[in-house]
Structure 1
Amino acid sequence: MKRSFYQFVLSFRGGAKEDSFAVFAEYMFNDLSFPKDETSFDTLSRYIEDKADPNMPSVVFDELYQLYEERFN
């Protein structure tokens, strides 16, 4: 079964404060409304653009999603 994007990104939590993936993961973890079971790029991208914290920039999301796709597709 394919892991959700949320589950994948949590693996970056606890990294260095300068690590953009770790920062993104921490803010995502603290965002109680983040779509935790979602795998779709379009749905997640819309959420990031419309509702996410500014510390979760779309450019970092795009990089993380590319890694997610490479790993699970």
Structure 2
Amino acid sequence: MKRSFYQWLMTQRNPNGKDELAHFANSAFFDQSFPKQSEDYHEISDYLELNGNYLPNMAVFDQAFTEYQALNKL
């Protein structure tokens, strides 16, 4: 079964992590409105552009989504 982006992102959490991906994952964990079931780039991107003030820039999401897609193709 394919995991949603959020489910994959939660595997990147690290409360002590200093990298941008860990920060993104940690912050998304506390975002109760995050589209948790979505696998769609545009849906998540649109959400983050309007609500992702914890994201320093959208490049972090783009890189994370690229990694997510690569793992889902395996």
Per the TM superposition, whether the score is higher than 0.5 is yes
1:42 aligns with 2:25: no
Deviates more, 1:15-24 or 1:44-53: 15-24
Query: In the aligned structure 2, how far is the partner of 1:16 from the partner of 1:63?
Result: 20
State the Cα RMSD in Å. 1.2
SS in 2 for 1:46: helix
1:70 aligns with 2:70: yes
SS in 2 for 1:6: helix
**May I ask how many residue pairs the two structures share in their alignment?**
72
- The Cα offsets for residues 42-62 of structure 1, whole Å up to 9 and x where unpaired, read as 101101111112x22311000
| Structure 1 portions without partners, runs of 5+ | none
**8 Å contact from structure 2 (residues 17, 23) kept in 1:** yes
SS in 1 for 2:33: coil
Residue 7 of structure 1 corresponds to 7
Query: In the aligned structure 1, how far is the partner of 2:6 from the partner of 2:27?
Result: 11
Deviates more, 1:29-38 or 1:7-16: 7-16
Detail structure 1 runs of 4+ shifted over 6 Å in the superposition: none
With structure 1 as the length reference, what TM-score do the two structures score?
A: 0.90
| Structure 2 portions without partners, runs of 5+ | none
Instruction: Measure how far apart 1:17 and its partner are.
Output: 3.5
Query: In the aligned structure 2, how far is the partner of 1:15 from the partner of 1:29?
Result: 11
